[in-house]
């Protein structure tokens, strides 16, 4: 009998796993379980084209009904998995249905971290399609927006809200937006771009309290200043969806802890995890990592599907990180782990029209540890390959065919 694979979580990690299983020759049943009622959709446009209203829901579909039918994927939507019974190999759904499996893939992703402040309502987070629909309606009101958190999602919401004509303030306790990932210098350039587009960037200051109701909110900052807003959006990170796995016997710790083959540490070897929820042993980094990037979910899905189809020859999952973000005229792409490096060299012109540059980051051992490029996809591709192959910093600069220029003072 062909094995049954249950995939829990029907977003990009889960959908891509199901597709890769079929592409890899899996002939048994695939049951894809998703807590949300909506047909599987993609998240990156939720802070960009969908939020701006230029794309409708049909543009963000992840799995068309025709593809689902052709691939023979059984969908259970609108019902969460409530329990994983590893000993009896079954997933128990919230409505009581029991889904038996031979192999299970956990792809339950992450949820937006809840705001700790007590405003009645009108404080948004942005993670799901319904979050994005609500926020889009609020932005259409045109009132002032306060964005709490200057990570990529916060920056993208700010850019989209500015394009919609809203007055926008971004608040973040860090000195630069996306500073943890990009470092102060490139983060500083990103802050300049937002300021040039009219965003009031309050950096290095936290939020003390948020009060009020929709359309009439007050945000009190830790420096005593007060901002008035029609809409407040809180983008302060995400937490992995592992609550339903309490008691399953899996090792949990900021995600589902996995070995280098994306296999959950458990008494059995038939549980895998993929995407934002997975914390796996990354051989090149020599530590466990959890990555909240779209490309990681798609690449890990391919690794997991491969290891399910070929259980006797599992392959380690050793990716080079990649993430992009679109803000104004910046098509920003990042590879590797720039945040772990302390030195960088900037090549190109951040002030050009359009701007075009690469920041190459040198890690402590003299190797290219990360790269961030703006409007220069070819440089990013080359840099990502150099990072994967442990190129020395100088060799990487040469490989790019570029003459390095010191990064200013």
Ligand X SMILES: Cc1cc2nc3c(=O)[nH]c(=O)nc-3n(C[C@H](O)[C@H](O)[C@H](O)COP(=O)(O)OP(=O)(O)OC[C@H]3O[C@@H](n4cnc5c(N)ncnc54)[C@H](O)[C@@H]3O)c2cc1C
Q: How many residues bind ligand X (CB under 6 A)?
A: 37
- Give least dist CB 166 to ligand X, A: 17
Q: Which of 5, 6, 7, 8 binds ligand X (CB under 6 A)?
A: 8
150: contact with ligand X by CB under 6 A: no
Beta carbon nearer to ligand X, 42 or 269? 42
Q: Does 115 bind ligand X (CB under 6 A)?
A: no
Q: Which two tokens stand for residue 327?
A: 């803000």
Give the CA distances from residue 334 to residues 110, 269, 331, 338, 358, in Å, rounded to whole numbers and listed in that order: 21, 34, 10, 8, 10
Instruction: Report the nearest approach of ligand X to the CB of residue 323 (Å).
Output: 4
CB atoms within 10 A of CB 82: 15
* Contacts for 63 with CB less than 8 Å, ≥ 6 apart: 15, 18, 19, 39, 40, 73
Q: Give least dist CB 146 to ligand X, A.
A: 18
The residue within the footprint of ligand X, chosen from 115, 151, 275, 338 (CB under 6 A), is 275
Q: Is 12 in the site for ligand X (CB under 6 A)?
A: yes
Nearest to 324 by CA among 89, 81, 173, 152: 152
Q: What number of CA atoms fall less than 13 Å from residue 102's CA on the CB side?
A: 13
Q: Which residue, 325 or 391, has its beta carbon nearer to ligand X?
A: 325
Specify the residue, 46 or 221, whose C-beta has the smaller distance to ligand X. Answer: 46
Interface mask toward ligand X for 27-56; x: CB under 6 A = ------xxxx------xx-xx---------
Residues linked to residue 325 through DSSP beta bridges, in sequence order: 332
Shortest distance, CB of residue 215 to ligand X, whole angstroms?
23
- Looking at 295, 375, 392, 399, which residue binds ligand X (CB under 6 A)? 295
Q: Binding to ligand X by residue 328, rule CB under 6 A?
A: no
Q: By the 8 A CB rule, do 166 and 189 touch? A: no
Torsion angle of the four alpha carbons 255, 268, 108, 7, in this order, in degrees rounded to the nearest 10? 160
Question: Which of 107, 166 has the CB closer to ligand X?
Answer: 107
State the minimum distance, in angstroms, from the CB of residue 45 to ligand X.
Answer: 8
Q: Per this entry, what is the length of the chain? A: 409
109 contacts ligand X (rule: CB under 6 A): yes
127 binds ligand X (CB under 6 A): yes
- Closer to ligand X at the Cβ: 44 or 150? 44
For residue 322 the two structure tokens come to: 């990649």
Could you identify the residue written with the tokens 């889904």? 99
- Residue 302 CB, shortest distance to ligand X, in Å, is 13
First and final CA of the chain: distance in angstroms? 66
Contact between 302 and ligand X by CB under 6 A: the answer reads: no
In the set 110, 360, 371, 386, which binds ligand X (CB under 6 A)? 110
Instruction: Verify binding: residue 294, ligand X, rule CB under 6 A.
Output: yes
The b/e string for 263-279 (b: 16+ C-beta within 10 A; e otherwise) is bbbbeeebbbbbbbbbb
Alpha carbon distance 88, 367 (integer Å): 47
Q: Smaller CB distance to ligand X: residue 303 or 367? A: 303
Nearer to ligand X, 94 or 175 (CB): 94
Contact 353, 393 (CB under 8 A): no
Rg value, the chain, Cα: 22
The answer to whether 13 contacts ligand X (rule: CB under 6 A) is yes
Helix (H, G, I), strand (E, B) or coil at 30: strand
The least CB distance from residue 366 to ligand X, in Å, is 28
Residues 42 and 62: their CA atoms lie apart, in Å, by: 6
Is there binding between residue 317 and ligand X (CB under 6 A)? Answer: no
What is the closest distance, in whole angstroms, from the C-beta atom of residue 113 to ligand X in the complex?
A: 12
Site for ligand X in 216-245 (CB under 6 A): 241, 244
Please select the residue that binds ligand X; options are 7, 10, 193, 360, rule is CB under 6 A.
10
Residues numbered 88-107 forming contacts with ligand X, rule: CB under 6 A: 107
Which of residues 102, 324, 339, 348 is near ligand X by CB under 6 A?
A: 324
Secondary structure of residue 168 in the 3-state scheme: strand
Q: Is 338 exposed, middle or buried (0-12, 13-18, 19+ CB in 10 A)?
A: buried
Binding site for ligand X (CB under 6 A): 8-14, 33-36, 43-44, 46-47, 80-81, 107-110, 126-127, 153, 241, 244, 275-277, 292-295, 297, 323-325
């Amino acid at each position: 009998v062909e094995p049954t694979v249950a995939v829990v979580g029907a977003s990009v990690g889960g959908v891509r796993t199901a597709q890769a299983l079929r592409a890899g020759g899996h002939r048994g049943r695939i049951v894809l379980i998703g807590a949300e009622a909506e047909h599987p959709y993609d998240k990156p446009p939720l802070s960009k084209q969908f939020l701006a209203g230029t794309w409708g829901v049909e543009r963000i579909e992840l799995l068309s009904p025709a593809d689902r039918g052709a691939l023979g994927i059984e969908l259970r939507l609108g019902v969460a998995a409530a329990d994983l019974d590893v000993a009896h190999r079954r997933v128990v759904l919230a409505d009581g249905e029991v889904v038996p499996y031979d192999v299970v893939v956990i792809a339950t992703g992450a949820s937006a971290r809840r705001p700790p402040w007590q405003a009645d309502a009108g404080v948004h987070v942005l993670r799901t399609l319904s979050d994005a629909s609500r926020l889009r309606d609020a932005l259409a009101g045109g009132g002032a927006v306060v964005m709490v958190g200057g990570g990529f999602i916060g920056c993208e919401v700010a850019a989209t809200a500015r394009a919609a004509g809203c007055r926008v303030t971004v608040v973040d306790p860090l000195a630069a937006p996306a500073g943890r990932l990009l470092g102060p210098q490139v983060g500083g350039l990103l802050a300049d771009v937002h300021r040039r587009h009219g965003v009031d960037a309050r950096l290095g200051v936290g939020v003390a309290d948020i009060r009020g109701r929709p359309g009439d909110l007050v945000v009190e900052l830790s420096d005593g200043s007060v901002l008035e807003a029609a809409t407040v959006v809180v983008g302060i990170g995400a937490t992995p969806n592992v609550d339903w796995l309490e008691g399953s016997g899996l090792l949990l710790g900021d995600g589902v802890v996995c070995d280098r083959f994306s296999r959950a540490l458990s008494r059995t070897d038939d549980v895998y995890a993929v995407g934002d929820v997975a914390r796996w042993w990354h051989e090149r980094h020599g530590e466990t990592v959890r990555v909240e990037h779209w490309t990681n979910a798609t690449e890990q899905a391919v690794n997991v599907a491969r290891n399910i189809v070929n259980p006797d020859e599992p392959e380690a999952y050793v990716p080079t990180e990649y993430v992009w973000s679109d803000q104004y005229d910046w098509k920003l792409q990042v590879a590797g782990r720039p945040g772990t490096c302390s030195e960088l060299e900037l090549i190109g012109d951040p002030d050009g029209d359009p701007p075009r540059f690469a920041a190459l980051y040198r890690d402590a051992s003299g190797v290219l540890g990360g790269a961030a490029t703006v409007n220069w996809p070819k440089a990013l591709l080359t840099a990502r390959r150099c990072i994967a192959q442990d190129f020395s910093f100088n060799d990487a600069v040469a490989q790019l065919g570029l003459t390095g220029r010191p990064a200013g003072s």
